[in-house]
Structure 1
Amino acid sequence: MNPWIASLPLTLAALSAGAAPLTVEALNQLNKLHSAALSPDGSQVVYGVTEVQGETKRSELYLRSLATPDRVTQLTFDEGREHSVQFAPDSEGIYFLAGRSGSSQLWYLPLGGGEARQISDLPLPVDGFKLDPSGEQVALQVRFHPTCADLVCAEKKATQQDERAAQGRHYTELMVRHWDEWNDGLRNQLLVAPLLEQRLGEPVVVTAGWDTEVPPRPFSGMEEVAFSPDGQHLVFSAKAPGTDQAWHTNYDLWQVPVGGGEPVNLTEDNPAWDAHPVFSADGRYLAWTAMSIPGYESDRFRIMLKDLRSGEVSEVAPGWDRSAASITFGEDSHTLYVTAQDVGQVSLFAIDVRFGDVRPLLTEGSNRLVGAAGGKLVYTQNDLANPTDLYMATSSGQQVTPLTAINADKMADLQVGEFEQFQFKGWNNEVVHGYWIKPVGYQEGQQYPVAFLVHGGPQGSFGNRWHGRWNAQLWAAAGFGTVMIDFHGSTGYGAEFTHSISKDWGGKPLEDLQKGLKAVGEQQPWLDIANACAAGGSYGGYMMNWIAGNWPEGFKCLVNHAGLFDMRSFYMVTEELWFPEYEFGGPYWEQSERYERFNPVNLIDNWRTPMLVLHGAKDYRVPLEQGLAAFTVLKRKNIPAEMVVWEDENHWILDPDNLAQWYHHVLGWMQRWTAKPGAHSQKGVD
């Protein structure tokens, strides 16, 4: 298969009648699109494809002309993986990160011909980079000890740490561990270096002495860093150094000279989260996203704008009740392209910063903007039936053209289920949305068991997207009618709807789930809601524990992945304390009544539903002991239960083999408990 060949996107009608149902093994074999970038002149796009064939993975970069149909060039032929691609400002070459020389370093490839050249040769790996507008200098993300002001010190400290004989780690402050790593004393740092004829000049550590993460970990990258239009400063999002970082969300925007110096706080007046700084091409505006509620990680990200001529700061489109996920200035310097969750989709909008008018451009599926230039939008898109591909549209969102179909051959041999969004009256008779998916091989007049999937967050959404882990189509392929509900607290339905779950974890959401299951059963009689199993992870796993105590008659079985079991002990062992402290109004000892009101452990007397418990041992967000405690209760009460633990997984199951094992256990468990008498059920495998 040629993964760069573009064709029409996959549709249900295009699937072969002889195609097989999707399996987790087939999901793991799908090719992956990554590292897409649009040239500044809007004439071409580069993207990476990781092609999977059995146990072999190969990742290469491809260049596609946007003017000449099907003009695609393979740029790389190396066994390694090139990623984090950026075009040079003149559009004549690309920069990328690769480990070709033994560690991750910066490389440059001229598009007119010639071999890639290594630009950086630092003693430590480069984890991210960003070019300044002129292409004359580059900001580099490197991880080392914050006491070091140069790379000589950084390398020496790293060597000392590697050679340390004693294994004990000494801590005086939180966080002791974060996500899936113990705190090793290292921090993300920013360096700036000149680019001298495609080689790196002497780098300057512009965050020297800052004992904080720049950019923040574990999920942020160089999207949190921007060069000023004149190239004289960096602006970045970070928490101020301090001992309170585990229990606040006060990320600010900081400005520092590219030659080094003391960072200046640009958003000191806002005690909540400031992020994603971007400058307009003409240098007039600085835009960023900002929350307004301290300590609340799921608050609405407003769009803020500073006019650099007048110094005036204002909110863009203050009446628009959506949370901006990404912002990008258009070529005209007054249009912001914004992605945001919106009623089950991740949509793309255009907002005029002068007037605040909001225009929806792409409103179906899950969209991510790659770039806007030359009157074109290049973006990725996926939905519940189609994995991610690259597309092009006009700046108004019209004349959509597929640019890739990297899984066309593989998906043509697979069947997926028909899906549809539905709505019903939930808590307080307010409208709540969800999705159902018909089982593969659906036949009119038959009823099917239900897989009732509950998302995590809790401020989250399954939505209309292709998920690499919780892929709803796998339940449909296993013969289930699949139902997902965006209960009160879900994102994409307005700030008030999202806020409504805080301090009410077991109230409105449970009522929505109960009413939603009943409503979808009435709307879609082919769903046998009396023969259903529920599954969820993180908060969804919490909800499995909560359902076990509050709705024990609702399901034939439950699947609890990384679920919170005891809110008291959870507070004492999780890492990001701002999360429970906002959700329940403060530390446990100040708000114990609220924590205990919706604490699943308090209702274990009611438990009787068979439950499968799954957990990663390196999960420091919801530590393993939460799953072990639930399993202990189940077994001691003689309730049918099984548990699976992965020693090297975190809050998510990421290894493909482990994911396959996860699904075999989950689907086998659910088929076992929903099987009709005498029917064959799939046995779980180790």
Structure 2
Amino acid sequence: MPPQDKRLPRRGRAVQAVGVKRFGSLAILAALVVGPLVTRPVHSALPAFSPTPAQPPAAKAPRAMTINDLLAVQVVSDPQVSPQGDRIVYTVKVIDRETGRSNTDLWLVDRQGKTPRQLTSHPGSDRHPRWSPDGRSVAFLSDRSGSTQVWLLPMDQSGEARQLTRLPLDVEGPIWSPQGDRLAAMVSVLPGKSFEETAETLRQRREAKSQAKIYDDLMVRHWDTWDDGTRQHVILIDVADGSARDLIPDWTAHAPPFFSGSSTDYAFSPDGEELAFISEPLTEHPWTTNKDVWIVSTRPGENGRSATPRNLTAGSLGAEAAPSYSPDGRFLAFLRQERAGFEADQWVLTLFDRQTSGVRPLTLKLDRPIEEYAWTADSQAIVATIDDRGSVALVRLDHPAQREYGPDLPRLTPTGTHRGIRPLPDGGVVMVRHHSAAPGELFVLPAGSDAQLQPLTHHNADLIASLDLNRAELFTFKGAEGTDVTGWLVKPPGFDPSRSYPVLCCIHGGPQGAWHDEWHERWNYALFAAPGYAVVAINPRGSTGFGQTFTDQISRDWTGRVYEDLMLGLDHALATYPFLDGDRVAALGGSYGGFMVNWIAGHTDRFKALVSHAGVFDLTSMYFTTEELWFPEWEFGGPPWNAADPKLYRAMSPSTYVESMRTPTLVIHGALDFRVPDSQGLAMFTALRRQGVPARYVWFPDENHWILKPANRIVWWREVHNWLDRYLR
């Protein structure tokens, strides 16, 4: 799955990211690993690969990237600005190569970017830091006690972190009330049961001799997890003693939404008396994308029970996400998709006026999806990021209560990808910035119209300096129907324009996703190019960031204009860049990209080799085994037995064209992939071998739609590179 998965754990979100992408791109939005500033030992011993030093001698010439280098990158994320604006706490994730597990710690850097300081060093995961309103402590999540609980780290004096919560269930996503006396967080509970009753029931199930699962309704599983009856609920935690209560104890739906939900899906009002949260419908259906904004009093109602929540968006059948109160309390902002059943509709920043109850869209005319956003402290502006023509750009919406915003809204950052935006009290913005030749680091954009980005951290500087990396280059061509379409070209290391290089044509997932100028932790341009390949990554019809009409044009047309865009884009690249060898070209894709690779196998012989990861093979069987049914029902106009065009499922299935498949194909799938079940990959492999086509099937019993474990990632890259080497060298 390539960038920004559509069918992936949907989104990142406001103040995080709301890029919700479906199938297969490698998003947003997702991530992993090690490097130079780590203070504990860096281990490196995984099957069949010798370790690569994280800090090679400076005298050595830059070299091609290896999988060990990708696994050695320190992942910088989640910056949080202190209330005074002088310090930023953030997280750094590395991989422990011996255990194959990631380790995340908290770091601190000041506003001027002086030497960052590591705050925690406990094995495991210390993450999700959030400053208390007075700036004296940071709440964070840690699994150091055996389960994930909230801990508090003093910041106004030296001292050890102390455990705040001791619930029998894992806690996620703590945020502070403005008064600093409470935290809101989320816990998965059995509706109507206490935390203790839930934990005991789940323990009994785990220890039962029979592990049979019995269901009376959908959905029975989601992403990589079977439904165990628990639902995510928002809880309140007393900071004085760590006690907690469920704000919505009898709620039968996920609130915030399962899997895609995060701490950006609930927010305190400035007075702390109200909490806004996002919930799925109380009667859940896997054929609806509907999610609403609800509000509830944070004070107990009669008899000590929680107050009854109120639905603010009951008339909307699309999805809402990421509620956020303006600091002055006048407005409640949120993200909205208008069209019901379409998870790739434009995310529009919307304002609810708490005095008049009026609702107004702010960015509908912008024609770009909002990825994340945050209010400035004076309530006079909102900073946001937008998916924009292969970059994720920062914008500023001044005086949001007074106007709407169109395509002329200035982009404040250059090409690249910018996430984790946090406003500074002085008008500047802190963010994580990365691009195709550099992994993420913290940057600050000072206030002012002529301000330039300034780096705050350099965790990966030594590693990147040792590598020969080429920045992705944008090109534009005429696609299907004469429409302007763009793509990226990445040259191989040691590039020599007089040489001829084999070409990898990479196809992103989603299908409503995009290839960005980004550092991807799985489908990494540089690592694809490392053996001496040129990478061509095209954003065809269906891609996000090019206007909603462009995105819409893939629905019910998975194999028409998008296929033509891809072929015309490849033709353009071969004609434009003389160093590309048109006789040695392979196509690779994941999820929808894997579907397109399977389609290509039955429709052209122009490629020497194919790589299909988690690809759809047969649309009808896919419909009956995937979980989120709204996706195929939107994309193909209804279920197979009642579609607008009953022939569509069959006509667009790669399985229909097996007889024409001739190209050697590497097929990869994970057993825990419930989005595109692994039977799709096995069926593709079976079809190829029954036809006598050279093929290999790589199946991971412990992976889902993505390949995440370090040892498995090494196997994945080894198999992909070996397959390409066999047919392109």
| TM-score band w.r.t. shorter chain | over 0.9
Residues 388-412 of structure 1: per-residue CA shift (max 9 Å, x gap)? 1111111347232111111112222
Range 387-396 or range 657-666, more displaced? 387-396
For CA contacts below 8 A with separation 6 or more, give which structure has more relative contact order. 2
Instruction: Tell me how far apart the structure 2 counterparts of residues 448 and 306 of structure 1 sit (CA, whole Å).
Output: 55
Correspondence for 1:361 among 380, 395, 412: 412
Q: Which residue of 1 aligns with 2:288?
A: 248
1:327-346 alignment to 2 at 5 Å?
327-346=373-392
Do the aligned partners of 2:543 and 2:551 also contact (CA within 8 Å) in 1?
yes
From 263, 269, 279, the equivalent of 1:238 is 279
Report the equivalent of 1:533: 586
Check 1:80–1:667 CA distance in 2 against 1; reply closer, same or farther (3 A cut). Answer: closer
Corresponding position of 2:227: 183
Question: Helix, strand or coil for the counterpart of 1:630?
Answer: helix
Query: What is the TM-score when the length of structure 1 is the normalising length?
Result: 0.93
Query: Aligned partners of 1:80 and 1:4: how far apart in 2?
Result: 14
What residue number does 1:120 align with?
165
Residue 54 of structure 1: CA displacement? 4.7
Map of 1:207 onto structure 2 = 248
Q: 2:452 aligns with which of 399, 418, 431?
A: 399
Match of 1:620 in 2: 674
C-alpha contact (below 8 Å) 1:273/1:291 kept by paired residues? yes
SS at match of 1:319: helix
SS in 2 for 1:19: coil
Contact 2:626-2:676 within 8 A present in 1 as well? yes
The yes-or-no answer on 1:73 pairing with 2:117 is yes
Counterpart check, 1:157 vs 2:191: no
Q: Note the C-alpha offset of 1:503.
A: 0.4
Secondary structure class of the residue paired with 1:359: coil
- 2: CA distance between counterparts of 1:463 and 1:126? 33
Matches within 5 A, 1:407-422: 407-422=460-475
Secondary structure, counterpart of 1:168 in structure 2: coil
Residue range with higher mean Cα deviation, 339-348 or 27-36: 27-36
Alignment check: 8 A CA contact 1:548 1:609 kept = yes
SS in 2 for 1:633: helix
Contact 1:34 1:83 in 2 (8 A): no
Residues in 1 aligned to 2:697 and 2:36: alpha-carbon distance in whole angstroms = 42
Which residue does the alignment assign to 1:8?
none
Q: Deviations over 1:598-627 (max 9, x none)?
A: 111111121111111000011110111111
Matched, 1:370 2:421: yes
- How many percent of aligned residue pairs carry the same amino acid? 37
In structure 2, C-alpha distance between the alignment counterparts of 1:374 and 1:189, rounded to whole Å: 32
Alpha-carbon distance change, 77 to 652 in structure 1, aligned in 2, over 3 angstroms: closer
Distance across 1 between alignment mates of 2:104 and 2:590 = 31
The answer to whether the 8 Å contact 1:46/1:61 transfers is yes
Report 1:225-374 matches (<5 A).
225-243=266-284, 245-258=285-298, 259=300, 260-352=306-398, 353=400, 354-357=402-405, 358-374=409-425
Aligned pairs for 1:482-493 within 5 A: 482-493=535-546
2:72 paired with 1:21: no
CA contact (8 A) 1:43 1:374 kept: no
Match of 1:107 in 2: 151
- What residue number does 2:52 align with? none
Q: 1:463 to 1:71 in 2, by over 3 A?
A: closer
Q: Aligned equivalents of 2:495 and 2:97: distance in 1?
A: 30
1:133 is aligned to 178
Separation in structure 2 between the aligned mates of residue 440 and residue 310 of structure 1, nearest angstrom: 59
Does residue 630 of the first structure (1) align with residue 678 of the second (2)?
no
Return the offset for 1:495: 0.4
Once residues 2 and 515 of structure 1 are traced to their aligned partners in structure 2, the CA distance between those partners, rounded to angstroms, is: 43
Which residue does 2:45 correspond to in 1?
none
Cα offsets for 1:168-213 (capped at 9, x unmatched): 11100111111111111112111113322xx32x422112111211
- What is the alpha-carbon distance in structure 2 between the residues aligned to residue 284 and residue 180 of structure 1? 41
SS of residue in 2 equivalent to 1:246:
coil
2:139 to 86, 95, 106: 95
Tell me by how many angstroms 1:537 deviates: 0.5
SS at match of 1:361: coil
Q: Partners in 2 of 1:456 and 1:602 — Cα distance?
A: 21
Aligned runs of 1:439-518 on 2, under 5 Å?
439-518=492-571
Deviation at 1:418, TM superposition (A): 4.1
Structure 1 position 43 matched with structure 2 position 89: no
Unpaired segments of 5 or more residues in structure 2?
Answer: 1-34, 40-56, 301-305
- State whether residues 144 and 188 of structure 1, in contact with CA within 8 Å, keep that contact through their aligned partners in structure 2: yes
Whole-Å separation in 1 of the counterparts to 2:221 and 2:634: 20
Where structure 1 has 5 or more consecutive residues not aligned to the other structure, the ranges are: 6-13, 676-686
Quick one: distance in 2 between partners of 1:566 and 1:491?
25
The answer (yes or no) to whether the contact 2:36–2:460 under 8 Å persists in 1 is: no
Q: How far apart, CA to CA, are the structure 1 residues paired with 2:95 and 2:459?
A: 11
User: CA–CA distance in 1 between the matches of 2:342 and 2:58?
Assistant: 44
Does 1:661 find its partner at 2:715?
yes
Q: CA deviation at 1:454?
A: 0.3
Secondary structure of 2:711's match? Answer: helix
- SS class of match (1:143): strand
SS where residue 696 of structure 2 aligns?
A: strand
8 Å CA contact 1:4, 1:72 repeated in 2:
no
Aligned to 2:54: none
Match of 1:3 among 26, 37, 40: 37
SS in 2 for 1:21: coil
Number of the residue aligned with 2:438: 386
2: CA distance between counterparts of 1:439 and 1:400? Answer: 28
Report the CA distance shift for 1:77/1:541 in structure 2 as closer, same or farther (over 3 A).
closer
Greater shift in the superposed pair: 590-599 or 460-469: 590-599
* Distance (whole Å) between structure 1 residues aligned to residue 121 and residue 534 of structure 2: 44
Q: One-letter code of the match for 2:65? A: L
**Alpha carbons of 1:396 and 1:507: their partners in 2 closer, same or farther (altered >3 Å)?**
farther
Paired letter, 1:265: N
**Alpha-carbon distance between aligned partners in 2 of 1:638 and 1:304, rounded to the nearest angstrom:** 55
Change in CA separation of 1:638 and 1:314 when aligned onto 2, cut-off 3 Å: same
Retained in 2: the 8 A contact 1:351–1:359? no
Structure 2 counterpart of 1:283, one-letter code: G
Closer/same/farther in 2, CA of residues 654 and 51 from structure 1, 3 Å limit: closer
RMSD: 1.8
**Mapped partners of 1:396, 1:608: distance in 2:** 58
The offset of 1:102, in angstroms, is 2.1
Single out whichever of 460-469 and 15-24 deviates more from structure 2.
Answer: 15-24
The match for 2:43 is: none
> The residue matched to 1:568 in structure 2 has which SS?
helix
Equivalent position SS for 2:572: helix
Structure 2 counterpart of 1:64, one-letter code: V
Aligned to 2:109, what secondary structure does the other structure show? strand
